Structure 1
Amino acid sequence: MTHYDVVINGGGMAGAVLALGLSQLGRADGSALRIALIEKSLPNHNLHPGFDARSIALAGHSRDLLQQLGLWPLLCDLATPITAIQVSDQGHAGQVNMQAEDYSVPALGYVIELNSVGQVLYQQLQQHSGIELLCPAQIQSWQQAPDQVSVTLNNGSRLTTCLLVAADGNLSQIGRQLNLPRRQFDYQQSAIIANVQTAMAHEGRAFERFTPEGPLALLPMSGERCSLVWCVSNARAGQLMTLDEADFLIQLQQAFGYRLGRMTRAGSRHCYPLVLDEVTRPWHHRVVLVGNAAHLLHPIAGQGFNLGLRDVAALVEQVRQALLSSGQGSSNQADLGSYQLLSRYGQSRQADQAALVGVTSALAILFSNDHPVLAAGRNLGLMTMAACSSLKHTLAWQAMGKR
């Protein structure tokens, strides 16, 4: 058996960033951590499901976290700054406009394309001597013991580790096997994801538009493209996915309007069902869940990866503190999977997770219906926020992930 300090299952964004963040740490005696990253798909950016056609919105605070982890210099050239955000409600006058310059920041957030980021992160993973990339490989079985976790891969390899991290997405094999308590809710919606081209340049502007069936977001991308996230009922999503490009663009134009002129092109469409799936206590004996393995959110506020990144940063920080306090010598090395470490990590993340789950769920319900009272209330809320600078500033800082 080969022993590692940390074994991470899943090489998508959360798993890759965690591996690279941990690789910068070392023990008090100067020895490096041994990290294994298990990924079932070959590191081919055209095939890897974790780095598909989607884009993600990084909050300003997430950019700061990536900087702390030493990764932002690798990704900054791939990021499109969000310099303005407009929030509006279809069929109503209320809207809120936020500009980065009003808050003395270069950007309110950033949009990065997972396809491009995947190439960069995999290059780093393959080049780092402290990380062993086990790919393609899958966990066949695993067992918890008092002092370690044993892992057997489908290629026959056997590993042991102090800490097993599940970063393998919402259908996490590890999370399901642990049978941890979950809170689940079906929003009865699906998100249609595509890249679109518009007649007018986006100029770094992002749009969040609420419709009776759900929110519609357009985020600025490179090459004057926009990333579309359109949340609609499941039935409506099925209809939209069957349309040809021209008819799809007509429907999108009617929902979004002409804020960026005429919609001219739409790339390949992908459709994802929207559910809340939250593990309320995402850690167990020598095992911890991060990212979508711990919590799958509604995309209404675009905060899913940002929450997962805060998981990663918090876990790296707990490991760093444990290494610092362990002292010199092999007889006093930190146990990176100890109950104390994982309990501190879990408790540090509970409030943030609960708050964001509550906010996104409430927004999804409030802004995904045409009930006259709720429609009037949310429109009044947007108008009030637009007129009250303190309320608008609060929304802007929340969007940037800074509380």
Structure 2
Amino acid sequence: MTHFDVVINGAGMAGAVLALGLAALRRPDGSSLSIAVIEAAPPDFDAHPGFDARSIALAWHSRELLEQLGLWARLAPLATPITHIQVSDRGHFGRVEMTASEYRVPALGYVVELTPVGQGLYRQMAERPNIRLLCPARIKEFVQQPDNIVLTLDDGAAFSAALLVAADGNRSLVRRQLRLPCRQLDYGQCAVIANVESAEPHRGRAFERFTPEGPIALLPMSQGRSSLVWCASHERAKALMALDDAAFLAALQREFGYRLGRLVRTGERHRYPLVLDEVERPWHHRLVLVGNAAHLLHPIAGQGFNLGLRDVAALAAALRQALADGRDIGSHGVLSGYGRARQPDQAAIVGLTTALALLFSSDHPALAAGRNLGLTAMAACPSFKSQLAWRAMGKR
């Protein structure tokens, strides 16, 4: 039976970045890890669920992690810098603004489009001789044994591995088979996603605009476009999806205002339900969950992939140290050490995004007054604002 050191189920952002990061590791004798990546979707980027029309915001610290993993140089040409962030509340006076120059960094973060990034990551995986991409393929079953984990695919192929990593999203097949305890919260909202063009150039500006039904975010993209994430109730989101382009832009203009001048064009819209879905203990015997398979967050603070990337970088570091120490990379000691070390960061980000989603999606007068006082105080207090800024950039 063929044996791999690591099998990664899922070749979306988290799985692909992890595969490439692990491919560069070496044992003390100089040998590399053998890695298999299993992906159910065919490598067709018009259909791949992990690399669809969405864009994601990379925090400044995420750029640093991608540099450490040797991946940033090829992603940088696809990234649009965020140099200015404005946070405001519709119908109220509270507002906070942050600039990269305040914190002596080239950018507060970056926006990347998933489709071209996915194409680049696939090309890099194909270039690595120690990565075997099995696509399209699905895991039919897996059996955890004391010294390895045995996997059978839907085409009957079977192989073993020292470690299985589930990077297969919040509908993770691996997680469902294990029936791991998780915490879930339905926010009662959907996110409407689209790319929009404005009469005024964005000039690297990102906007977070809070409304009674949920936040609206516009993030700077290439070619002068902005990436829209509009969070609203299920009913409102359904109605927004049914509008023609002109009516949709008019509705967005009313909610967002004229910070970018007139909104002149919108691309295809997509709608996603918003829930918190967090695995309480995202590691098991010879198995670990990363990315959305471990924790699916509300997009209000743009922290979902950034948190997943910190998981990926920490797992790669834990396996690097295990190799240096001559330890079994799938052992309980290695995985539990990684998992426990990640729990404080995961709990803090889950708590932060959940609190913000609940606080800034309510039109209750007391909550509205409180959050606007908070925004005003933050704008007036540099140290308070600095804490928020560095947290947004991924620094703790």
TM-score (ref. length: structure 2): 0.99
Structure 2 CA distance, aligned partners of 1:32 and 1:385? 49
In structure 1, the partner of 2:166 is 166
User: Equivalent residue for 1:242?
Assistant: 242
- Between stretches 41-50 and 131-140, larger displacement belongs to 41-50
- Looking at structure 1, the residues matched to 259 and 188 of structure 2 have their Cα atoms a distance apart, in angstroms, of 28
Mapped partners of 2:153, 2:26: distance in 1: 27
In 2, Cα distance between equivalents of 1:174 and 1:48: 19
| Structure-2 separation of matches of 1:225 and 1:337 | 44
Match of 2:25 in 1: 25
Q: Distance between the aligned counterparts of 1:20 and 1:45, measured in 2?
A: 19
The question of 1:380 aligning with 2:373 is answered yes
- The aligned residue for residue 219 of structure 1 is 219
In structure 1, the residue corresponding to 2:56 is in which secondary structure?
Answer: strand
Aligned residue number for residue 280 of structure 1: 280
Match of 1:340 among 312, 326, 333: 333
- Give the corresponding residue for 1:321: 321
Q: Does 1:400 align with 2:385?
A: no
Residue 156 (structure 1) shift = 1.8
Q: What is the CA-CA distance between 1:44 and the residue it aligns to?
A: 2.5
After superposition, residues 2-401 of structure 1 pair within 5 angstroms as: 2-326=2-326, 334-401=327-394
The answer for unaligned runs of 5 or more in structure 2 is: none
Task: Please report how far the alpha carbon of residue 188 of structure 1 lies from its aligned counterpart in structure 2 after TM superposition.
Answer: 0.3
User: What is the alpha-carbon distance in structure 2 between the residues aligned to residue 41 and residue 188 of structure 1?
Assistant: 29
* 1:329 counterpart residue number: none
Tell me the SS of whatever aligns to 2:126: helix
Distance 2:44 2:99 in 1: 38
CA displacement 1:289-330 (0-9 Å, x = unmatched) = 00000000000000000000001001000000001111xxxx
Shift of 1:192: 0.3
Partner of 1:307, secondary structure, is helix
Separation in 1, partners of 2:343, 2:68: 22
SS of match in other structure, 1:159: strand
Partner SS, residue 347 of structure 1? helix
- Local SS of the residue matching 2:226: strand
Tell me the distance in 1 between the aligned counterparts of 2:380 and 2:67: 35
User: What is the Cα deviation at residue 147 of structure 1?
Assistant: 0.8
Structure 2 counterpart of 1:212, which letter?
P
Which deviates further from its counterpart, 154-163 or 193-202? 154-163
Distance in 2 between the 1:72 and 1:32 partners?
21
Counterpart of 1:306, as a letter, is: N
Distance 2:214 2:54 in 1: 19
TM-score calculated relative to the size of structure 1 = 0.97
Residue by residue, what CA displacement relative to the aligned partner does 1:256-288 show, whole Å, maximum 9, x if unpaired? 000000110111100000000000100110010
Tell me the SS of whatever aligns to 2:186.
strand
Q: Deviations over 1:36-81 (max 9, x none)?
A: 0001122222221110000000000000000000000010000000
Residues 340-377 of structure 1: CA distance to partner in whole angstroms, max 9, x if unpaired? 00001100111111110001000001000100010011
- For structure 1, the 5+ residue unaligned runs are 327-333
Partner AA of 1:357 in structure 2: V
SS across alignment from 2:322: helix
SS in 2 for 1:47: coil
Give the AA of the match of 2:28: A
Could you tell me how far apart the structure 2 residues matched to 1:233 and 1:351 are? 31
Quote the offset at 1:117 in angstroms. 0.1
Read off the aligned partner of 2:383 and give its amino acid letter.
S
What CA distance in whole angstroms lies between the structure 1 residues aligned with 2:188 and 2:49?
A: 24
TM-superposed CA distance for 1:335, in Å, is 1.1
What is the aligned-residue RMSD (CA, Å)?
A: 0.7
Could you tell me how far 1:131 is from its partner in structure 2?
A: 0.3
Could you tell me how far apart the structure 2 residues matched to 1:159 and 1:269 are?
A: 41
Q: Aligned partner of 1:5: which letter?
A: D
For 1:117 and 1:179, locate their aligned partners in 2 and report how far apart those are by CA, in whole Å.
32
Cα displacement string for residues 158-190 of structure 1 (whole angstroms, at most 9, x for unaligned residues): 110010000000000001111111110000000
Q: Secondary structure of 1:163's partner?
A: strand
CA shift at 1:31, angstroms? 1.2
Identity %: 67
How many residues are treated as equivalent by the alignment? 396
What is the distance in 1 between the residues matched to 2:42 and 2:273?
A: 26
| Distance in 1 separating the partners of 2:89 and 2:26 | 50
CA distance in 1, matches of 2:370, 2:32: 56
In structure 1, the residue corresponding to 2:373 is in which secondary structure? Answer: helix
Give the aligned residue type for 2:162: C
Runs of 4+ in 1 over 2 A off after TM superposition: 44-47
1:331 corresponds to = none
1:288 is paired with a residue whose SS is: strand
Which amino acid in 2 is paired with 1:132?
R
